[in-house]
């Protein structure tokens, strides 16, 4: 089956939905999403969107805060481009109907909060569910637009290239099991990050690095994949959806303890549990590796029941559903992969290295984040670069043509697999290896162990992919193995500790590495 459209957008998070709405008045747009429309990391973003909106704030302050957070590796031009376009993007979201929380005093219009790394109050938010408000608003507009067609439960196999130009994609219909051909004048990757490559992640299961792997196979460079942000305290409860335990708990006096009750953060940092996120995450990781334990405990039982329930009502109620009483129980927690700071390299028009292929959102490396992401810059980046991609595509649409001759997908020589255990086993082995050897704290020995295991897994997956009909699970495993390999190679190349990359063999920063880690695609 063949589909034709002006613009193909892969992914239905904030970046993809924004680009679609910006394009749809002038173009026929198709959105492909792996599950249902709107599902993805954007939906679960609790924080907000950073933008200079207050008279006491200024663009230069936001720029400098971001540069400091990036630990020397931000691209200053990208930071300025993002910050300078922030207000227009926020105003557009408001015009679409996004209801940001208002200032109760009526002084500044919107209620602005301040988060880690920001020197001023500049975070617009919708209570503690900004991503949900943005996603739901954009999804409702998408469903009403006559020029937008949505394909749910479709998983991209690979982009289609002709004469070094992207002309569309082969896409698996996971309902029918058939691969369909999508032809477009321009295509855009907005498929999110790759945190599901780790055993523990705060991300939904769709965050399997698909866009990064697809782009790299198509001929795009990737950058800074050694930088993955970890949240220190995620509930340890295998078999359930990830659930974050807010840093506000530690801010209000919660302790981190070993199974024997020892409060270990006192041994690590004079700020104890109030140390920065990366220090706390590394400290927990150290205890788990040193003692061979699966988790540590977060304990606030020394506070009164009234205090806990009044300060943390949502967390208290949610934990009861998992069988824990925050007022009486120590809660098992682990750090969890949270945000991919590197990805597909794009310019300020959101163009990749392949003509006709754009990218925006967490799938990309724009240069904004550097070695560490500053809070609430991520949703902003999604909208700014979605705007940029849409503008560039609009300017070129009249000169672009649809490709007319593309080979249909041929699976005549492969069979259905009777070994589904292969995918499940290798998925678990990959994520466990990444967690143990390419996690919060690395070393040369650990990274080499990860590289050796991933090399074997990738060959097994390649052989399996060649012999059997593809499934959604197989496509995700294929992409995760490639992204894991790219992440480990990036970490091996960076022989220093900077930002989110910490290695026991090179504990200090090194000026020789004040540059992004760029991996070029393998030559065909």
Q: Active-site positions?
A: 277
Dist. CA 434–CA 215, nearest whole Å: 22
Measured torsion, CA atoms of residues 185, 190, 191, 193, in degrees rounded to the nearest 10 = 140
Judge residue 312's burial from the number of C-beta atoms within 10 Å of its C-beta, 0-12 exposed, 13-18 middle, 19 or more buried. Answer: buried
Helix (H, G, I), strand (E, B) or coil at 451: helix
In sequence order, what are the beta bridge partners of 187?
8, 357
Measured torsion, CA atoms of residues 110, 113, 118, 122, in degrees rounded to the nearest 10 = 0
Is the CB of residue 119 less than 8 Å from the CB of residue 61? yes
Dist. CA 422–CA 255, nearest whole Å: 41
Give the gyration radius of the chain's Cα atoms. 23
Is the CB of residue 187 less than 8 Å from the CB of residue 356? yes
Is the CB of residue 218 less than 8 Å from the CB of residue 158? yes
Please state, in angstroms and as integers, the Cα–Cα distance from residue 38 to each residue in 11, 48, 140, 152, 255, following that order: 9, 17, 10, 10, 36
Of the candidates 248, 298, 244, the residue with the CA atom closest to the CA atom of residue 274: 248
Q: Residue 311: phi, psi to the nearest 5?
A: -85, -30
Dist. CA 359–CA 188, nearest whole Å: 5
Residues shown for the chain: 524
Q: What angle do CA 309, 312, 313 make, to 5 degrees?
A: 65
Q: Residue 48: phi, psi to the nearest 5?
A: -170, -155
In sequence order, what are the beta bridge partners of 160?
168
Residues in CB range of 64: below 8 A, 6 or more apart: 119
| C-alpha of 401 from chain center | 32
Q: How far apart are the first and last CA of the chain?
A: 28
Measured torsion, CA atoms of residues 12, 18, 19, 21, in degrees rounded to the nearest 10 = 100
Helix (H, G, I), strand (E, B) or coil at 386: helix
Buried b (16+ CB within 10 A) or exposed e, 231-241: bbbbbbbeeee
Q: Residue 160: phi, psi to the nearest 5?
A: -100, 125
Please state, in angstroms and as integers, the Cα–Cα distance from residue 423 to each residue in 205, 418, 429, 469, following that order: 15, 11, 10, 13
């Amino acid at each position: 089956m063949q589909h034709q459209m002006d613009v193909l957008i892969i992914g239905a998070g904030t970046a993809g939905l924004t680009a679609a709405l910006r394009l749809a008045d002038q173009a026929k747009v198709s959105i492909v999403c792996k599950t249902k429309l709107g599902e993805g990391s954007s939906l679960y973003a609790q924080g907000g969107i950073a933008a200079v909106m207050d008279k006491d704030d200024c663009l230069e302050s936001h720029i400098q805060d971001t540069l400091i957070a990036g630990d020397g590796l931000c691209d200053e031009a990208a930071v300025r481009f993002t910050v300078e376009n922030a207000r227009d993007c926020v105003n557009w979201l408001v015009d679409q109907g996004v209801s940001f929380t208002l200032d109760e005093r009526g002084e500044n219009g919107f209620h602005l909060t301040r988060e880690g790394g920001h020197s001023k109050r500049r975070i617009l938010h919708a209570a503690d569910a900004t991503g949900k408000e943005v996603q739901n608003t954009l999804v409702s507009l998408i469903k009403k637009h006559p020029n937008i067609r949505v394909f749910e439960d479709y998983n991209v196999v690979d982009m289609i290239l002709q004469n070094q130009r992207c002309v569309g994609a082969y896409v698996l219909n996971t309902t029918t099991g058939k691969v369909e051909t999508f032809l477009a004048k321009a295509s855009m990757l907005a498929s999110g990050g790759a945190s599901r490559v780790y055993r523990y992640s705060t991300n939904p299961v769709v965050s399997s690095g698909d866009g990064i792997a697809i782009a790299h196979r198509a001929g795009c460079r990737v950058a800074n994949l050694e930088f993955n942000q970890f949240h220190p305290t995620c509930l340890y409860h295998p078999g359930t959806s990830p659930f974050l335990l807010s840093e506000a708990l530690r801010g209000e006096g919660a302790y981190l303890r070993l199974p024997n009750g020892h409060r270990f953060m006192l041994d690590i940092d004079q700020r104890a549990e109030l140390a920065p996120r990366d220090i706390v995450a590394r400290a927990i990781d150290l205890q788990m590796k040193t003692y061979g334990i699966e988790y540590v405990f977060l304990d606030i039982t020394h506070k009164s029941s009234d205090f806990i329930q009044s300060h943390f009502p949502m967390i208290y109620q949610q934990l009861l559903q998992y069988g824990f009483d925050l007022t009486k129980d120590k809660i098992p927690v682990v750090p969890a992969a949270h945000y991919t700071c590197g990805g597909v390299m794009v310019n300020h028009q959101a163009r990749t290295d392949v003509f006709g292929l754009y990218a925006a959102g967490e799938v990309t490396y724009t240069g904004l984040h550097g070695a560490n992401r500053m809070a609430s810059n991520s949703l902003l980046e999604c909208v700014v670069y979605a705007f940029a991609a849409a503008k560039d595509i609009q300017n070129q649409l009249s000169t672009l043509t649809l490709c007319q001759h593309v080979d249909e997908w041929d699976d005549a020589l492969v069979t259905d697999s009777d070994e589904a255990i292969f995918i499940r086993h290798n998925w678990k082995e990959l994520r466990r290896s990444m967690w143990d050897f390419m996690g919060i704290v690395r070393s040369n020995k650990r990274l080499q162990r990860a590289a050796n295991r991933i090399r074997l897994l990738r060959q097994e997956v390649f052989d399996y992919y060649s012999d059997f009909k593809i499934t959604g699970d197989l496509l995700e495993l294929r992409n995760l193995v490639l992204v894991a390999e790219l992440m480990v190679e990036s970490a091996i190349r960076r022989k220093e500790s900077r930002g989110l990359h910490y290695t026991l063999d090179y504990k200090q920063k090194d000026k020789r590495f004040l540059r992004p880690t760029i991996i070029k695609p393998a030559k065909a």
